């Protein structure tokens, strides 16, 4: 059996579906990771200007590191994109009556398509850094759709079992100031991610030598690549202060909203790690391992804050509402 029927009529989410979602989420993480590796190693042209073929072949000669990386990038993107689409279709087929399932499914599929199209265009045409910077952002949104859909299925499973977990907390009161703070922090984060991607695609990482100072200066100005990197550092510091503000604010609600308080703790730790990994990138003169750690931590941070944002939206149990409506519907009598 792939689901369990409970005595009150509720159906637990399919066991295989939830874990297939975990596999799909890991796959989306891998897609973004190898895409960043592909860019940082200058392997994007490893297959030449051909797409979907690689150097005019279905299976190219793998005697060059750049060819291997680009070919693996294309293969893994195709494979895990198919896995993600299967997961989304499966989830929609069983739970499309839930608003979260519909939203996250279309979010995932939509941005998988957009990301794939941008990747193909980047091979055929020369895209400016500003457009390439969107590639990572769209990849994160696709990963977010798959990841949040998976989280929702696990939450619903616990909700069905009567546990006071994720879905229970979503219906607990939350001051509007905190609600807006969490949501606007997510928007701020996405802007910070785009700015960081822009730094990478402009190859501006070495414009500011040293850390935390930039070329030995507290304020190097905002012109050229130096200004781009310096802006990125300022935005990162602002992000850290926002997360600290969020953590302090939610501490007063740690009993009522344990989900948000625990998430804000994780968020603050992840931002500190992200800043430290950024320092390693600079001090190691753009060491590849430092770069890969930096983007890996970024993806985890993105999912943590996306989860926090999800928890600010109340949960509407559509299945229970439909039952109550049917129960209140008057029964026709025959004379």
Catalytic residue list: 70
Read off the tokens for 284: 């190691």
Question: Which DSSP helix (H) or strand (E) runs through 168?
Answer: helix 166-170
Candidates 256, 298, 303; CA nearest to 276 is 298
Query: Is residue 217 classed as helix, strand or coil in its secondary structure?
Result: strand
The two three-digit tokens of residue 6, written as one number = 């409970």
Asked if the peptide bond before residue 212 counts as cis, ω within 30 degrees of 0, the response is yes
CA distance linking residue 208 with residue 215, whole number of Å: 5
Please work out, in degrees rounded to the nearest 5, the angle formed at the alpha carbon of residue 254 by the alpha carbons of 143 and 100.
30
What are residue 11's phi and psi, to 5 degrees? -115, 125
Residue with tokens 């302090």: 248
> 113, exposed or middle or buried, with CB in 10 Å at 0-12, 13-18, 19+?
middle
Q: How far apart are the first and last CA of the chain?
A: 46
């Amino acid at each position: 059996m792939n689901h369990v029927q409970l005595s009150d009529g509720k159906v637990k989410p399919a066991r295989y579906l939830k874990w297939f979602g975990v596999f799909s989420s890991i796959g989306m993480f891998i897609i973004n990771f190898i895409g960043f590796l592909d860019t940082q190693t200058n392997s994007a042209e490893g297959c030449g200007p051909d797409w979907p073929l690689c150097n005019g072949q279905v299976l190219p000669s793998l005697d060059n590191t750049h060819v291997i990386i680009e070919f693996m990038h294309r293969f893994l993107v195709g494979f895990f994109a198919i896995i993600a689409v299967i997961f989304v279709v499966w989830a929609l087929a069983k739970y499309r009556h839930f608003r979260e399932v519909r939203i996250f499914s279309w979010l995932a599929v939509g941005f998988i398509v957009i990301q794939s199209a941008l990747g193909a265009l980047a091979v055929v045409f020369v895209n400016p850094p500003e457009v390439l910077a969107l590639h990572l952002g769209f990849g994160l949104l696709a990963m977010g759709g798959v990841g949040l859909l998976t989280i929702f299925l696990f939450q619903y499973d616990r909700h069905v079992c009567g546990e006071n977990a994720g879905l229970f907390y979503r219906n607990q009161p939350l001051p509007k100031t905190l609600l807006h703070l969490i949501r606007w922090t997510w928007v701020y984060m996405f802007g910070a991610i785009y700015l960081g991607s822009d730094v990478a695609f402009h190859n501006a990482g070495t414009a500011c030598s040293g850390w935390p100072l930039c070329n030995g200066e507290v304020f190097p100005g905002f012109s050229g690549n130096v200004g781009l990197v310096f802006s990125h550092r300022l935005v990162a510091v602002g992000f850290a202060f926002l997360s600290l503000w969020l953590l302090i604010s939610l501490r007063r609600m740690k009993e009522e909203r344990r989900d948000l308080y625990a998430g804000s703790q994780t968020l603050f730790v992840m931002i500190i790690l992200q800043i430290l990994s950024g320092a390693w990138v600079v001090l190691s003169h753009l060491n590849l391992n430092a770069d890969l750690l930096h983007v890996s931590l970024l993806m985890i941070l993105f999912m943590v804050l996306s989860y926090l944002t999800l928890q600010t939206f109340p949960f509407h149990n559509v299945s229970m509402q439909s039952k109550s409506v049917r129960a209140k519907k008057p029964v026709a009598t025959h004379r």
